[in-house]
Amino acid sequence: MKLVLAEKPSVAQSIAKVIGATSRNDGYLEGNGYIVSWCIGHLVELVEPETYDEKYKKWTYDDLPIMPSKWKYEVSSSTRKQFGILMNLMKREDIDSLVCATDAGREGELIFRLVYHQCHCTKPFERLWISSMEDSAIKDGFKNLKPSSNYDKLYEAALCRERADWLVGINATRLFSCLYKQSLNVGRVMTPTLAMTVQREAAISAFNEESFYTVEVDCDGFTASSERYQAKEEAEADRKKCEAKETIDVIKVQTKEKSEKAPALYDLTSLQRDSNRLLGYTAKQTLDYAQSLYEKKLITYPRTDSRFITEDMGNGLSELLKSTQKFIKKELIEVETKQIINNKKVTDHHAILPTKEIAGINISELPSGELSILNLICHRLLVSVSKPYIFEETTVELACGGLPFKSKGKTVLSKGWKALNPKEEKEKNQIPKLNDGDVLNIQKAEVKEGKTSPPKHFTEDTLLSAMENASADEMPKEAERKGIGTPATRAGIIEKLVQKGYVKRVGDKKTKNLIPTDVGVALVTVMPEQIQSPTMTAEWEEKLIGIEKGEMEGEAFMEDIQTMVRDLVGTYEVVKGADVIMPNKNHVVGRCPHCGSEVIERQKGWFCDNKQCRFVLWKDNAFFTYIGKKINPHIVDMLLRDGKARLKVCKSKKTGKSYNADVLLSTEADGRAKFSLSFEQKGKR
């Protein structure tokens, strides 16, 4: 019997239905020689630093860098039950082998392997690698299960990525938090992304708007413009000269036929960008909608960085195109399917496509967000196989009394793929048939004022593009993936910046700009170049691809990361004047009952400011949770001032009864907080 392990319950149910595992049990389905279960995301995670050594509970500069000699993992407390189910299933004697059916990518591979190793399982396993949740794709996938060894390097790259993020995140966050005496979150991809927004806002702030002027003349039905003038008076003087001359000479006429190829199919990033620009959805919303559509078998795997399909998929395109045209009620007369086929540009997964399942869906049953994303994907498929947009561009150089003018005009010859766009392409400044040497009448001449434009604020659309192309000019031409982050992680990075208060969304419902907060600007200001530079992070992404391909050893990559972290901790110095741009906002709440130093409120609790003292009142406090209460600033004030706090309506975890009591605070020999209860004489009820 085979144990099939999926990433989510919904995916497991789809797989189970296809392979005949229809008998439901607690945490798994069984039947037809299969047991199908699921992980619920990351069941197994890297432990916190204090698991390696309890001293790391207190953040101190002297303890850095933290470099585990042997990496430890633990089961997430929220998913412990499902982990136990999986462990028991793996131990069953009738289970001969396993099938890794988590998402077919770096993260999916990591999720399965960590569970497999944490359960100390040694049974053989194979890999289900599919790009669609359609029944036919699942059936084909099980007929062609891949050897697990094919994906060992993918797992190695995933481990390196996870551990590198831990090393940089833990050490850099603690380093800067200790030195600047406040909680500062630093991340391998997050900080360079934040730096981009800060640099963009700095460019906008430094921008000085300048006016410029041009002379525009109406030449028998089309307009021509002069070069720019800095002074309005000069432009006005030349306008008068043109008006007085009344004619303008045609110096040179050039007419070229041009074409624009249809845009490629969507990968995740391009879908997120269009979704943000056209619909106002955040990158995370788009990913969530796309993931749901994938699990409903309506689109192919969304976490892809490919924008093409493979040759073997060409045979099924005709039927898919018919279904798609019917779904969005648009027809194609001619199609060019070859332009979306390119084996060399397909990595782990092909571009995002609708599936044939769209032909039978009830649109009214789809949430509006999912329907909008599905419409975008279907529309893009039709656009991508359409003919080029062809137009004729005419450029005319003219002169009036020695003053040069220029005019450009466009005539649409074939709308091609743009015929499918809601906004129809219009002909611009149509220029009549002209010859060199023609003399035209000037109907009107006027001075037009223009203003130079500052850079635009980042939106999620443009920030995703910046992340995708970060340091592209510094990367080797043959680099498979440029930029920072991956299509699957960029949305999460943006969300984390917002959640941590480093970036805020500003604007109307549809168009929101991403603006760094004062805290975000201050953080980037004190960051060394190596941490905020996208170049280093982009290089790491490329090295991870090298590990996947077997072109680089994971050990070498991790050594580079460790060296960088050691250098950062050993050489970084506090920026002079940082207290002005980053004032210490830690709030002093009282005196430490153990050593008398100040107790300061920080993100996770109230800490003694004396690095040698271990006194802390954690905000997520196990003792207060046990008595059914939550510690708050008022309780902390009483505990530090009086050594006790009167609490009403505490709740016994054993009996469920309520009671009133005093919580008494004392300390251990090393300063750790110790609590006890003192009951009222008539407090119980």
Instruction: Provide the CA 416 distance to its chain's centre, in angstroms.
Output: 33
Question: Which uninterrupted H or E stretch holds 520?
Answer: helix 518-526
Q: How far is Cα 420 from Cα 330, in angstroms, rounded to an integer?
A: 8
Q: How far is Cα 186 from Cα 173, in angstroms, rounded to an integer?
A: 5
Positive or negative CA dihedral for 608, 612, 615, 621?
positive
Label residue 661 exposed, middle or buried (CB < 10 Å: 0-12, 13-18, 19+).
buried
Q: How far is Cα 681 from Cα 359, in angstroms, rounded to an integer?
A: 73
Contacts of 563 (CB under 8 A, 6+ apart): none
CB 19 within 8 A of CB 4: yes
Query: Can 34 be counted among the known catalytic residues?
Result: no
Q: Which residue has the tokens 């633990």?
A: 74
Tokens of 213: 């002027």
Q: What are phi and psi of 253, to 5 degrees?
A: -120, 125
Q: What is the DSSP string of 528-539?
A: -HHHH-HHHHHH
Question: Which uninterrupted H or E stretch holds 36?
Answer: strand 34-38
Label residue 145 exposed, middle or buried (CB < 10 Å: 0-12, 13-18, 19+).
middle
**Helix then strand then coil, % of the chain, to nearest 5:** 45, 25, 35
Say which of 301, 389, 502, 659 is annotated catalytic. Answer: 301
Q: What is the DSSP string of 221-287?
A: TEEEEE--BS-HHHHHHHHHHHHHH-EEEEEEEEEEEEEEPPPPPB-HHHHHHHIIIII---HHHHH
Q: How far is Cα 532 from Cα 514, in angstroms, rounded to an integer?
A: 18
Tokens of 237: 């003087």
Please list the residues that pair with 618 across neighbouring strands: 605
Cis peptide before 388 (omega within 30 of 0): no
Q: Which residues are catalytic?
A: 301
